[in-house]
Amino acid sequence: MDALSVSQLNSIAREAINLVLPEDIWVEGEISGFRYHAKSGHCYFDLVEKGGSEQYVAKVPCAFFKGSLLNCRAKLAREGLKFELNEGLSLRLKARADFYAREGRFQLIVSDIDPSFTLGALARQRLVTIERLKAAGLYELNHGQALTRIPLAIGLITSLGSAAYNDFVSVLRSSGYAFSLKAFDAHMQGDATIGSVARGLKILGSQVDAIVICRGGGAKTDLVWFDDYRIAEAVARCPVPVITGIGHEIDLSVTDLVAWRHLVTPTDTARFLVSRLDEAWQRLDEAEADLRTVPQGQLASARRELENRAAALSSRAQNLNLNARLSLKTIAANLSRAAAGINQLEARRLVRLSGELGATSRRQLTGASHRLEKLEQTVTLLDPSALLARGYSITLGPDGRPLSSVEQAAIGDKLTTVLADGRLHSTLNERTKP
C-alpha cells in the first residue's frame, strides 16, 4: 500500500484550499488572543464565532503582516478614521485563505478590514448598554452625588507612571493646596481593564471625596472597554462623585455618560478640582473680610451711643446742681426778708425771743445746709465718670445697649463691661437673681 508523506499530504491540502478559495474573501468574527510584535510589525490573532454565547463555536488563526497593516492604517487616516485592532472587537476582514504546509496550519492572511462594520457593532452594543443602565435606574445615579465644597481627598484610577498620571499629579502639586491623593494602579486598555477599574472604584469609594478615572487619548477602538456595562455600573453605584478624563474629545464613552462629571484630559480633571478649591478659598477670604468689618462697625456704634448717654447724664446733673443752688439762694433770701419783717413788726417780741429765734434760725440753716449737701451728693452720684471711678460699671449686651435686667441677656451672649479705665469682654455662663 502506497502512503503519503506529511509534506505530500499538506501540499495536497494547500492545493485543495487554493482551488476552492482562489481569491480573497470577506470573513466576520471577533478578535481573540490579539498579539502585536513590535519588532516585526506583524500582528496575529484568532477570529472567533461565538454564536450568542461567551464560548466560541469556531475559530480561525489570522496573520496581519506589517505591509498590509500599514496600508490599512494609511487608508483609514485618509478617511479621517483612527482605528486600532484590540481584543474583543467585532471585525469584518478581507483575507486570503492559506495552508502553511510546513506546520500543517490553516490560517487567513489579512489584507484589509471594514471599519464601518466594527464601528457599527460598537455603536449597537453601546446603545444596548445605555438602555440596560437606564432600565436598572443606574444611568443618572452618580449624577445625584454631591461633591464637597473642599474636595481634598482624591482617588485616582489610572496606570501609575503613565503620562496621564504625571499630568494629573503635576497640576495638583503645583496648585499649592494640600490634596491627599490615593492612587490605584489599573489597566487602562485590554481585557483586564474592566475588572481592574471596577475594583479600584470599590476600594477607593469609601476613602475619598471624589474619584478620578483618567488615561491618555487613543483611537475609538482603544477606548471600547469604557463602553462596557460592568465599568459603567461600578461608576454609577460609586458612593462618591466620579470624574472622568479618558482623553477623547468627540465621542463620549458610556462611562463618561454615567459619571458625575466628564472632562477631556487628565489635566482638565485636575484643573477642575483645583478650581473648586479656588472657589472655597475665595469664600473664606470674603468671610474673613466680613468678620473684620461687622464687629468694628458694631463697636463704633456702641461707643457712640455710650458717649451720647454719658453726655446726656452729665448735662442733666449740671442742670440739677444749678437748680438746687438757685433754690437755696431763694430760700435764703426769703428767710432774710421774713426775719426783717418779723424784726420790724415784733421788735419787742424779737428781743424777748431772740435767743429762741437764733436757735431756730441756726437749726433751719443747718437743715438747709444738710439738704444742699445731699443734693450735691446726688448730683455727684449721677455723674457716670464718678460712678465708674468708684468701682461701678456699665454692662452692654450683644447689641451694644446697656443692660438694666438679667432678663435682657441670654446664656452664651457676648457681653462688654465698661469700667473707668477700659472695657472687659466676656461670655455669659450663668444668670442669678436675688
pLDDT digits (tens, 9 = 90+) for 254-264: 999 999 999 98
Bridge partners of 31? 47
Residues 74 and 182 grouped into a single domain: no
Q: Is residue 234 part of a domain?
A: yes
Residues 164 and 244 grouped into a single domain: yes
| Nearest-angstrom CA–CA distance, 62 and 66 | 13
Number of domains in the chain: 2
Residues 94 and 26 grouped into a single domain: yes
Helix 266-345 with 354-382: angle, nearest 10 deg: 170
Please enumerate in sequence order all residues whose Cβ is within 8 A of that of 403, keeping only pairs 6 or more positions apart, or say none.
Answer: 395, 396, 397, 409, 415
> Around Cβ 7, how many Cβ atoms within 10 Å?
11
| Nearest-angstrom CA–CA distance, 233 and 198 | 9
Q: Is residue 408 part of a domain?
A: no
Q: Which of 76, 93, 113 is the last residue of a domain?
A: 113
Looking at residue 390, what is its pLDDT? 73
Q: Which of 279, 297, 321 is the last residue of a domain?
A: 279
Q: Which of 249, 279, 309 is the last residue of a domain?
A: 279
Residues 135 and 253 grouped into a single domain: yes
Cβ atoms of residues 85 and 68 within 8 Å: no
C-alpha cell at 164: 496621564
Looking at residue 198, what is its pLDDT? 93
Please enumerate in sequence order all residues whose Cβ is within 8 A of that of 138, keeping only pairs 6 or more positions apart, or say none.
Answer: 232, 233, 236, 237, 258
For 133, the enclosing helix (H) or strand (E) is helix 115-135
Residues 158 and 269 grouped into a single domain: yes
C-alpha cell at 345: 413788726
Residue 187's nearest CA partner among 230, 154, 226, 148 is 226
Residues 198 and 221 grouped into a single domain: yes
C-alpha distances in Å from residue 123, one per residue of 178, 195, 220: 42, 22, 11
Cβ atoms of residues 187 and 173 within 8 Å: no
Looking at residue 201, what is its pLDDT? 94
| pLDDT tens per residue, range 34-79 | 888 988 889 999 999 887 666 788 999 999 998 888 888 888 777 6
For the chain, the residue count is 434
Residue 271's nearest CA partner among 161, 158, 179 is 179
Query: The pTM is what?
Result: 0.51
CATH of the domain at 232: 3.40.50.10550
Looking at residue 213, what is its pLDDT? 94
Looking at residue 192, what is its pLDDT? 85
Residues 94 and 130 grouped into a single domain: no
Give the amino acid at 14: R
Cβ atoms of residues 234 and 202 within 8 Å: yes
Looking at residue 203, what is its pLDDT? 93
Angle at 159 between CA 154 and CA 165, to 5 degrees: 55
| Nearest-angstrom CA–CA distance, 307 and 400 | 12
Residues 132 and 234 grouped into a single domain: yes
Q: Is residue 229 part of a domain?
A: yes
> Around Cβ 21, how many Cβ atoms within 10 Å?
14
Q: Which domain holds residue 108?
A: 6-113
Residues 30 and 109 grouped into a single domain: yes
Q: Is residue 57 part of a domain?
A: yes
Please enumerate in sequence order all residues whose Cβ is within 8 A of that of 74, keeping only pairs 6 or more positions apart, or say none.
Answer: none
Residues 84 and 153 grouped into a single domain: no
CATH of the domain at 26: 2.40.50.140
pLDDT lower than 50: segments of the chain? none
Q: Is residue 391 part of a domain?
A: no
Q: Is residue 330 part of a domain?
A: no
Looking at residue 287, what is its pLDDT? 66
Residues 95 and 45 grouped into a single domain: yes
Q: Is residue 290 part of a domain?
A: no
Please enumerate in sequence order all residues whose Cβ is within 8 A of that of 302, keeping only pairs 6 or more positions apart, or say none.
Answer: 396, 400, 401, 416
Residue 98's nearest CA partner among 89, 113, 108 is 108
Cβ atoms of residues 69 and 84 within 8 Å: no
Residues 79 and 176 grouped into a single domain: no
Q: Is residue 218 part of a domain?
A: yes
